[in-house]
Amino acid sequence: MHPIFTTVLSTIEGESTIIETVYNNRFAHIPKLIKMCAKILTKGQKLIIEVVKSLKGTSVNASDLRAGANLLLAAVKAKGTTEIRNVQQIERGYSNIVSKIQKIGVNIEAF
């Protein structure tokens, strides 16, 4: 759940910290969020997340299921257009995700 919590925490008031105590490489999604203008510092197994006014749309790659779901959430929160490549990673874990997101009023297309 780290990727999803990281995105949510980057858009709410105050500074947040996440500490990973199990896996050494749990933060592979961070560079993609930083590309979307999130303010996140990595110090060893600790993330320090600062609030930003908004994330910004850009082109990103879904490297795995959870990171892809995180990017989809970030794209919904972002201003501008976000292109997520390798969407098969998301679709394999979330059936009909595009139509579900559309039902809540998000302008989303799958190619």
Alpha-carbon distance of 68 to 94, in angstroms, equals: 10
* 99 in a structural domain: yes
* 57 in a structural domain: yes
The CATH number covering residue 89 comes to: 3.65.10.10
pLDDT at 36: 97
33 near 6, Cβ under 8 Å? Answer: yes
pLDDT at 71: 93
Question: Which residues face 48 on adjacent strands?
Answer: 17, 41
Parent domain of 30:
2-103
* 11 in a structural domain: yes
How many domains does one find in the chain?
Answer: 1
pLDDT tens per residue, range 67-85: 899 999 999 999 999 999 9
* 78 in a structural domain: yes
pLDDT tens per residue, range 5-55: 999 999 888 999 999 888 877 788 899 999 999 999 999 899 999 999 999
pLDDT at 30: 93
Alpha-carbon distance of 6 to 74, in angstroms, equals: 10
* 50 in a structural domain: yes
